[in-house]
């Protein structure tokens, strides 16, 4: 017998990268179909108003224009985008129509689609469409939403759409017994995923077969196929969504947008293939935004630093409509505010506000980035009030290994209960401090060195993953003895092909180079659920293990028939089967491929967890914050590929630093987006944060899946805002500067310093 494979756990370089590095990726913009036309979207220039007329007469007369599609061309009723996650009936009135037809509710909302010979011609024709919009007052923040100078949805009568409530224990009793009650308000700004390649689609309707093919699927192809088929009133089996390469996803790409319907519908209307790709300005104004919360929170604490309870209210600006996953972030803000800490009494509410901004959805660590900023700031503030060491206070409150599984707060109205699955949080916390050199660096706390004040901070986090309810995998043993793996998971830049090849190679004891992985297209498996919530490795990888067991059984049956023996007598040794002294290579086993499909069911989340530490310095003259050192230590249960996981961790931290210091989608009082280009919307560059370190551990495998793995694509980003804000506060402790709002841009930090200095002088 040859040695067993050990690809799982090996730092194998991504096998998909060579193709990308050679410029051989295939993106939507690379696709060309015979006789294709191009689509461009007319978007609302007004944030809020009654849409009175859309006159396309002049545009239709423009040479090269084939059609201008408005809501009137879509039938008696314009289809709407349903919710994919938490589909509550009370949110249905807030679903977005595919094209505006009575009102416009944000700048960038689609009003019409121009179809032309080239994208340039279509762009020129946009200016020839005559719009008449009667403006209404724009709702752009919590104050204007509550003032209700206008209401986005008149039938609802309010700009407060719904409230999530997270509860555990008896918060009222906890606050009654507290030695300290701390109350503060926080804000996290609106920002979003800025993947390298904007969205796009190629759609082709075949009138002879009544079949629709759409290239550009990502993230949740099967769900989007279901939504699209329903909207177009055709059988689901008549729609094929084909995955192509994408330049990143981060939660935003691959949800169902108006364009997911408009481009296929346009292809059916004009009878030719239609191609559409958005430019960066379109992306900034139309792809899902994220974050954007205000929160008033109270923490009840005993004199020894034990956190007794949390209560408060968050207000989440979800924009103009509830799109497919728009409730996830606001829900998570309430349910996960306790994080990795043992807080037994919780009553937190999160109100979702409709405003005249681009609709919100998920962005890496949705809700968790925001709530970690709030919680970690509160812990430092409480420690300061009690005269305690914030490091000791955190250690005092971390959930213990003996407490596992540890239940988190329950959430309503979409009932959801969950629990931390496994972990030694104290070990990871102490290891982070050791590797960071906390004891040695502590001497720098608050020190002025070369004109800059230095500060340190530490904080812990949890990372939920592995959303169910299931995922499918299909394994095909080809007649040449190679293995093809088909997955319902999608590739959005996470190294899916490499990771799944490692899992399949070990499961089947086959050479790595004899396995091909195909993923994310609706023709591959009966049903798929895609890649979101750090689920693809756990769910898709576990489905591969189940399919491998079934395939091995089929191989034994085929070999038994060939050798004339019982299936139990057959041994599989890599690419060879043996029984009773006879042997046969897999390539000669059967005349037809052996094909199996399996589904992994799971309704329990996994929870990776970790601790991060930062060392920063602040220039009091400019407000600039420099990150000198940043370390993350995270336990992921079981690593499939340490190399790709390291990249996920570092990338997440960089995105967190971008959200902490730079990125901000800013609207004026009229609902106009002021940061509509990358000249205005600032993002981190390679030289901004040169010292970022990551350590990944395999301490406590998850008991909720056969791999023992935990979703680990989002942990890096989650605690960054709170950790950096605490480090800045510690650097400026002599001024009692307390950052309560992100981003910590140089102007904001400078104003905090100036205000603190003026307050000191006034004392």
The pLDDT tens digits for 464-478 are 999 989 999 999 999
Distance CA 418, CA 396 (A): 23
Three-state SS at 163: strand
The pLDDT tens digits for 741-758 are 999 999 999 999 999 999
Query: Which one, of 158, 169, 140, lies nearest residue 345 by Cα?
Result: 169
Q: Which residues pair with 371 in a beta bridge?
A: none
Which pLDDT value is given to residue 5? 82
pTM of this structure: 0.96
The pLDDT tens digits for 559-602 are 999 999 999 999 998 899 999 888 999 998 999 999 999 999 99
Which pLDDT value is given to residue 574? 86
Distance CA 414, CA 557 (A): 46
By CB atoms closer than 10 A (0-12, 13-18, 19+), residue 647 is middle
> Is residue 628 predicted with pLDDT exceeding 80?
yes
Query: Which one, of 576, 558, 575, lies nearest residue 567 by Cα?
Result: 558
- Residues sharing a CB contact under 8 Å with residue 627, sequence separation 6 or more, in sequence order: 614, 615, 616, 657, 689, 691, 692, 724
Query: Which one, of 658, 655, 635, lies nearest residue 645 by Cα?
Result: 635
The pLDDT tens digits for 152-180 are 999 999 999 999 999 999 999 999 999 99
Q: pLDDT tier at 1 (50, 70, 90 boundaries)?
A: very low
What kind and span of H or E run contains 759?
helix 746-762
Query: Which one, of 3, 411, 298, 354, lies nearest residue 159 by Cα?
Result: 354
Residue 600 CB coordination number (10 Å)? 25
Q: Which residues pair with 313 in a beta bridge?
A: 296, 349
The pLDDT tens digits for 659-680 are 999 999 999 999 999 999 999 9
Radius of gyration of the chain (CA): 27
Instruction: Write the DSSP assignment of 410-461 as a string of letters.
Output: EEETTTB--EE----HHHHHHHHHHHHTHHHHGGGTT-EETTEEEEEEEEEE
Query: Which one, of 332, 159, 359, lies nearest residue 255 by Cα?
Result: 359
Query: Which one, of 263, 247, 241, lies nearest residue 122 by Cα?
Result: 263
What are the structural domains, with CATH classification, of the chain?
17-25+467-601 (3.30.365.10), 417-460+606-762 (3.30.365.10)
Query: Which one, of 540, 553, 454, lies nearest residue 713 by Cα?
Result: 540
Which pLDDT value is given to residue 235? 97
Distance CA 322, CA 319 (A): 8
Which pLDDT value is given to residue 3? 59
The pLDDT tens digits for 699-742 are 999 999 999 999 999 999 999 999 999 999 999 999 999 999 99
Distance CA 415, CA 421 (A): 19
Average pLDDT, the chain: 96
331: left (phi over 0), alpha (psi -120 to 50) or beta: alpha
Residue 227 phi/psi, 5° resolution?
-65, -45
In the chain, the largest separation of any two C-alpha atoms, in whole Å, equals: 96
Q: pLDDT tier at 2 (50, 70, 90 boundaries)?
A: low
Average pLDDT over residues 530-534: 93
Please say whether the beta carbons of 203 and 238 come within 8 A.
Answer: no
Distance CA 625, CA 615 (A): 10
Which pLDDT value is given to residue 713? 93
């Amino acid at each position: 017998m040859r040695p067993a494979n050990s690809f799982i756990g090996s730092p194998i370089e991504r096998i998909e990268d060579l193709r990308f590095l050679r410029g051989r990726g295939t993106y939507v913009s690379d696709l060309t179909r015979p006789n294709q036309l191009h689509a461009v979207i007319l978007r609302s220039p007004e944030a809020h108003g009654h849409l009175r007329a859309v006159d396309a007469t002049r545009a239709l007369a423009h040479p090269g224009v084939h059609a201008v599609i408005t809501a009137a061309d879509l039938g008696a009723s314009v289809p709407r985008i349903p919710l994919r996650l938490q589909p509550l009936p009370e949110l249905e009135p807030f679903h977005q129509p595919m094209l505006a037809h009575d009102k416009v509710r944000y700048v960038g909302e689609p009003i019409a689609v121009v179809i032309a010979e080239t994208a340039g011609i279509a762009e020129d024709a946009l200016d020839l469409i005559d719009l008449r919009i009667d403006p209404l007052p724009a709702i752009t923040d919590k104050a204007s939403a509550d003032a209700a100078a206008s209401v986005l949805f008149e039938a609802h009568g309010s700009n407060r759409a719904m409230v999530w409530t997270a509860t555990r224990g008896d918060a009222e009793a906890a606050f009654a017994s507290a030695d300290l009650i701390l109350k503060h308000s926080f804000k996290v700004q609106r920002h979003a995923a800025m993947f390298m390649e904007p969205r796009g689609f190629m759609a082709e309707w075949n009138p002879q077969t009544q079949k629709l093919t759409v290239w550009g699927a990502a993230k949740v192809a099967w769900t989007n196929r279901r939504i699209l088929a329903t909207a177009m009133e055709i059988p689901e089996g008549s729609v094929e969504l084909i995955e192509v390469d994408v330049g990143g996803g981060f939660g935003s790409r691959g949800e169902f947008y108006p364009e997911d319907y408009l481009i296929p519908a346009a292809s059916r209307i004009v009878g030719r293939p239609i191609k559409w790709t958005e430019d960066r300005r379109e992306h900034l104004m139309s792809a899902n935004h994220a974050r954007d919360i205000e929160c008033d929170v109270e923490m009840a604490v005993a004199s020894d630093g034990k956190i007794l309870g949390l209560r408060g209210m968050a207000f989440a600006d979800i924009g103009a409509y509830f799109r497919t996953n728009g409730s996830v972030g606001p829900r998570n803000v309430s349910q996960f505010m306790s994080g990795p800490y043992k807080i037994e009494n919780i009553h937190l509410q999160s109100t979702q506000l409709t405003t005249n901004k681009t609709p919100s959805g998920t962005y890496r660590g949705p809700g968790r980035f925001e709530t970690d900023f709030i919680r970690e700031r509160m812990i430092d503030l409480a420690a300061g009030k009690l005269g305690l060491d914030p490091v000791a206070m955190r250690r005092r409150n971390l959930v213990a290994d003996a407490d596992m599984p540890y239940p988190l707060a329950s959430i309503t109205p979409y009932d959801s209960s969950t629990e931390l699955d496994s972990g030694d949080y104290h070990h990871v916390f102490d290891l982070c401090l050791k590797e960071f050199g906390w004891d040695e660096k502590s001497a720098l706390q608050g020190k002025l060195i070369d004109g800059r004040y230095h500060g340190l901070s530490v904080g812990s986090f949890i990372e939920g993953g592995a959303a169910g309810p299931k995922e499918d995998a299909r394994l095909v043993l080809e007649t040449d003895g190679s293995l093809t793996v088909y997955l319902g998971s999608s590739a959005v830049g996470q190294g899916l092909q490499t990771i799944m090849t490692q899992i399949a190679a070990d499961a089947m004891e086959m050479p790595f180079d004899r396995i091909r992985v195909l993923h994310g297209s609706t023709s591959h498996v009966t049903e798929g659920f895609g890649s979101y919530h750090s689920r693809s490795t756990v769910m898709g990888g576990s489905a591969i293990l189940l399919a491998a067991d079934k395939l091995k059984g089929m191989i034994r049956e085929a070999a038994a028939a060939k050798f004339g023996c019982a299936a139990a007598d057959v041994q599989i040794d890599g690419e060879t089967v043996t029984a009773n002294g006879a042997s046969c290579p897999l390539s000669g086993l059967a005349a037809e491929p052996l094909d199996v499909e399996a589904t992994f069911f799971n309704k329990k989340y996994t929870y990776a967890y970790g601790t991060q530490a930062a060392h920063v310095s602040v220039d009091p003259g400019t407000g600039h914050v420099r990150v000198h050192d940043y370390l993350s230590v995270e336990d992921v249960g079981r690593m499939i590929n340490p190399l790709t996981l390291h990249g996920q961790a570092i990338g997440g931290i960089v995105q967190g630093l971008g959200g902490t210091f730079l990125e901000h989608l800013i609207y004026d009082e009229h609902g106009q987006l002021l940061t509509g280009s990358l000249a205005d919307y600032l993002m981190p560059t390679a030289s901004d944060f040169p010292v970022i370190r990551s350590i990944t551990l395999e301490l406590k495998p998850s008991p909720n899946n056969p791999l023992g793995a935990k979703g680990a694509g989002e942990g890096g980003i989650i605690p960054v805002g709170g950790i950096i804000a605490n480090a800045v506060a510690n650097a400026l402790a002599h001024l009692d500067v307390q950052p309560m709002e992100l981003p910590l841009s140089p102007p904001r930090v400078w104003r905090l310093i100036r205000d603190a200095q003026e307050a000191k002088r006034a004392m």
